[in-house]
Amino acid sequence: MTEDTAIITVRVPKKVKIAMNKANINISKEIRDYLEAKTRSLELYALLPEISKRAKNRKVTLNSTRIIRKYRDSR
């Protein structure tokens, strides 16, 4: 890894660790991937108020209902 990293220690029940080792699961990678996905999810969630605010100001110029109906009727 070329990024700066930090060490995080996680305690799990021994049964979980043994099961993951038996399944050849890279525990560090799984936890790292989960934390990265969770962080990204939280970042996107934080953007929702701004997106909603901008969406209220947006005007729809295309009524897709008519286009969909025309397409369905043509089949």
| pTM score | 0.63
What gap in Å lies between CA 12 and CA 10, rounded to an integer? 6
Distances (CA, A) of 25 to 16, 35, 53: 11, 16, 43
Summarize pLDDT for 15-71 with one digit per residue, the tens.
Answer: 999 999 999 999 999 999 999 999 999 999 999 999 888 888 877 777 788 888 888
56 alpha carbon, distance to own chain's centre: 24
